[in-house]
Amino acid sequence: MTKRIVVYRRLPEDLLAQLKRDFHVDDFGHLEDLDDPTFRAALAEAHGLVGAGQPITPALLDAAPQLEAISSVSVGVDAYPVEELTRRGIQLCNTPDVLTETTADTGFLLIMATARRAVELADFIRRGDWQASLGEMHFGSDVHGKTLGMIGMGRIGAAIARRGALGFGMRILYSNASPKPALEEELGAQRRELDALLGEADFVCVTVPLSAETERLIGAREFALMRPSTIFVNIARGKVVDEAALIEALEAGRIRAAGLDVFEREPLPADSPLPHMANVVALPHIGSATHETRRAMSQRAVDNIRLSLSGERPLSPVNEPATARA
């Protein structure tokens, strides 16, 4: 029997063709609405699912009784009920590593752009306001030599810290579930309790995954611990931060600026004040969005689903369901 795969994220044609050699593929391109009746009908017969973004609920899983594996085209797995998938014997895979450096580049872009007010001053020229050489009111802050506080020191956190320490001579602090002695050795990084890091760092950069533990990890109390000169960067997930508290901290001058790639609701609602604030650089969730990296993520997702449905170990499993490769 040829197994069936449902795809709801756009994949390159040649990678879809690879899958079609061995599987029946129902390709929905980029599908936003997972309640779409045609998608639901395809799900009823699906053995594999490839996509990203929208939450996968237990109700949706009920509509896919034959499902053996889900391959997410992302490293973050906050959209999936991981324990429920394991309980149902469904393999979940993601795309770590291949996006680490690109996402770290985006994180550093936000550090640089906020510190040097790049977007605000580019807009200044665009408006025709550059009539004389600039004075203090348009100066930014140095990045080199400053203290970078990483909240989360996993793959992406370490890659951002490496850029800071080795490229910009920054002192690295980190707050992380486990200690990272190799990075302490390599970068001179020092581990801190979260509260201490917030008070000490010039740049606070969030790279923890979204989970029940990290949801709203940074709120009004945490912004109050930062200094008026602190620059806050979120490259992880919007819900790790209490966005209303962030807006309040920016408006009240409790922190200097924010660089944001991710938001509580995406796409960002039209009435959000964030993109209109001069001290905010807001990007539309482009952490991994380069041609090269999105291609590598798609390739990894295709390899993961092919291996999972062939009874082999995928390249990047998230869970270890007992029945997945029985």
Residues found near ligand NAP in the complex (CB under 6 A): 75-76, 96, 99-100, 103, 152-157, 176-178, 207-210, 213-214, 235-237, 261-262, 285, 287-288
CB of 10 to ligand NAP, least distance (A): 16
* Cβ-based nearer residue to ligand NAP, 46 or 297: 297
Residue 162 CB: number of other CB atoms within 10 A? 18
Measured CA to CA, the distance from residue 261 to residue 104 in angstroms comes to 12
Measured CA to CA, the distance from residue 214 to residue 218 in angstroms comes to 8
CB of 292 to ligand NAP, least distance (A): 14
* Cβ-based nearer residue to ligand NAP, 230 or 288: 288
CB of 324 to ligand NAP, least distance (A): 21
φ and ψ of 258, to 5 deg: -140, 140
* Cβ-based nearer residue to ligand NAP, 280 or 309: 280
Q: Of 32, 215, 251, 266, which residue is the catalytic one?
A: 266
Question: The dihedral of CA 129, 133, 134, 136: what is its sign?
Answer: negative
* Cβ-based nearer residue to ligand NAP, 117 or 285: 285
Query: CA separation (Å) from 69 to 117, 166, 317?
Result: 45, 40, 10
Q: Is-catalytic flag, 237?
A: yes
Burial label for 211, CB within 10 Å (0-12, 13-18, 19+), is: middle
CB of 256 to ligand NAP, least distance (A): 22
Query: CA separation (Å) from 122 to 46, 105, 116, 127?
Result: 49, 20, 11, 9
* Cβ-based nearer residue to ligand NAP, 84 or 101: 101
Residue 79 CB: number of other CB atoms within 10 A? 17
* Cβ-based nearer residue to ligand NAP, 14 or 292: 292
* Separation of CA 181 from chain center: 25
Start-end of H helices in the chain: 13-22, 37-43, 58-62, 82-87, 100-115, 118-126, 155-162, 168, 181-187, 194-200, 220-225, 243-251, 291-309
Nearest to 45 by CA among 4, 2, 105: 4
Q: Of 192, 254, 256, 285, which residue is the catalytic one?
A: 285
Q: Is-catalytic flag, 285?
A: yes
* Tokens coding 303: 């390899």
Nearest to 108 by CA among 240, 209, 207: 207
CB of 269 to ligand NAP, least distance (A): 18
Q: Of 162, 237, 256, 294, which residue is the catalytic one?
A: 237
CB of 263 to ligand NAP, least distance (A): 10
Is the CB of residue 160 less than 8 Å from the CB of residue 150? Answer: yes
Residue 179: cis peptide before it, omega within 30 degrees of 0: no
* Cβ-based nearer residue to ligand NAP, 114 or 176: 176
CB of 94 to ligand NAP, least distance (A): 9
Q: Which residues are catalytic?
A: 237, 266, 285
